Amino acid sequence: MATNSGGWPDLELLEAAPILIWRSGLDGLCDWFNSAWLRYRGRGMSQEVGEGWIEGVHPDDKPQCMETYLQAFAQRQAFQMEYRILRADGAYGWIVDYGVPIHDRSQDFLGYIGYCFDVTARRTAEQDLAVTVAKLEESNEDLRQFAYVVSHDLREPLRNIGSFASLLERRYHKLFDDVAHEYLGFIRAGVQRLDRMVLDLLDLASIGRTPPAATPLALREIVLQARENLGLAIAESSAAVAVEVADDLLVQGDASHLVRLFQNLIANAIKYRRTDVPPQIVVSAERDNGMIHCCVQDNGIGMAPRHHEQIFGIFARLQHKTAVDGTGIGLAVCRKIAERHGGRIWVESAEGEGSTFHVTLAGATAANAAGIVPPAPGAASTRRD
């Protein structure tokens, strides 16, 4: 920048600059403002110099503003601060103020030049966003509570229907013909199914009520636990479930929720298998930009691309309404858990060609991993179990 007297920037240049500029001398007091500043404030030079400009600073911002300035001044350091100041139109504007110490050719301190920009639009947008987020969180919480209460309350009349259907059958079974027995069977099956759906809904509503613990967990142990929990289904279907997850991959979160996520995905990979080949399932994971990218790959029936988003909705099931047991909530649970762990979930699949479910989770780096079983020290290889 062009300077005169060896140190100060050329005031004529600064005068015409489209940003707000001030200057202060060795005594710390402002002795000059450019015309953009004076126009912004709607005041004259004589009103602004000295401590005049401080009168316009919002009372809530004044202490912080003065402290930043005086501290930086004492140490001759550059500073940056944001504060509200009265504008010519009588409203407060937010400005960001960059103060730069100025020295002459022999490095003697002369004072400060400050460059300011109006950031009211950005601050207003930030405030609007914060208000919107707060409102969203509130309505989310209301919805969650609503789902919880409704699910609870629904179970009582359901139980009544089920018990009276059983009573009818026990007391009057001699009066009923086969068709009546069949109808009662439908009622009981319907009640059972509805009860499972309500329980699953309760389950879904309960995720997210408590924030996940901030303990780093060994991902491999989570996946192994999920596989172990499915031991019976794996044995019954002769499935092969390979776990290709390195011991040193750590995630931050809630162990039981994460186990549930992988358990749901592996269970689905078994449930939606092809009839002609035994299920081959591979669970793998790798680091990806601070996140951990996990894949659960199967050789099952797959699904058409038009269903790829839909299946993560509540009660969303494809063509297997009666063929395969389920309520259509498992993947909604998985999505909620992935999102609660800073990640997301999606599927890649084609009909008849198997599916790969992708999950990203926020990675953890702390050395003090505490999982279901912490990773063995020094064991950092990807083993295939």
Using CB under 6 A as the criterion, which residues of the chain lie in contact with ligand ADP when the complex forms?
264, 268-269, 271-272, 298, 300-303, 311, 316-318, 320, 326-332, 355
Closest CA to 366 of 164, 152, 214: 214
Per residue, what are the HEC states of 149-189?
HHHHHHHHHHHHHHHHHHHHHHHHCCCCCHHHHHHHHHHHH
d(CA 301, CA 277): 10
Of the candidates 239, 298, 288, 294, the one whose C-alpha atom is nearest the C-alpha of residue 262 is: 294
C-beta closer to ligand ADP: residue 88 or 189: 189
Least Å distance between CB 330 and ligand ADP? 3
Least separation in angstroms between residue 378's CB and ligand ADP is: 35
Answer for the pair 283, 242: CB distance below 8 angstroms, yes or no: yes
Nearer to ligand ADP, 65 or 303 (CB): 303
Q: Return d(Cα 269, Cα 380) in angstroms, integer.
A: 27
Cβ-based nearer residue to ligand ADP, 216 or 343 = 343
Question: From CA 252, how far away is CA 363, in angstroms rounded?
Answer: 6
In whole angstroms, the minimum distance from the beta carbon of 307 to ligand ADP comes to 7
Which CB atom, from 271 or from 341, has the smaller least distance to ligand ADP?
271
Smaller CB separation from ligand ADP, 99 or 354: 354
Instruction: Of 220, 365, 203, give the one whose Cα is nearest residue 285.
Output: 220
Q: Are 250 and 341 in contact (CB under 8 A)?
A: no
Beta pairing partners, 285: 294
Residue with the CB atom nearest ligand ADP in the bound state: 326
Vertex 300 angle, CA 285 and 331, to 5°: 60
Can you tell me the distance from the alpha carbon of 371 to that of 221, in angstroms, rounded to the nearest whole number? Answer: 7
Closest to ligand ADP by CB, 8 vs 272, is 272
Q: How far is the CB of 322 from ligand ADP (least distance, A)?
A: 11
CB of 291 to ligand ADP, least distance (A): 22
In angstroms, the CA 303 to CA 320 distance is 12
Complex with ligand ADP: residue 165 or 332, whichever CB lies closer = 332
Residue 322 DSSP SS3: coil
Least Å distance, CB 208 to ligand ADP, is: 17
Residue nearer to ligand ADP on the CB measure, 184 or 324 = 324
Q: How far is the CB of 326 from ligand ADP (least distance, A)?
A: 2
- Find the shortest distance in angstroms from Cβ 318 to ligand ADP: 3
Minimum CB separation of residue 372 from ligand ADP in Å reads 23
The residue among 251 and 311 lying less far from ligand ADP, judged by its C-beta, is 311
Nearest to 219 by CA among 348, 335, 365: 365
Residue 70 CA: distances (Å) to CA of 54, 58, 86: 13, 17, 21
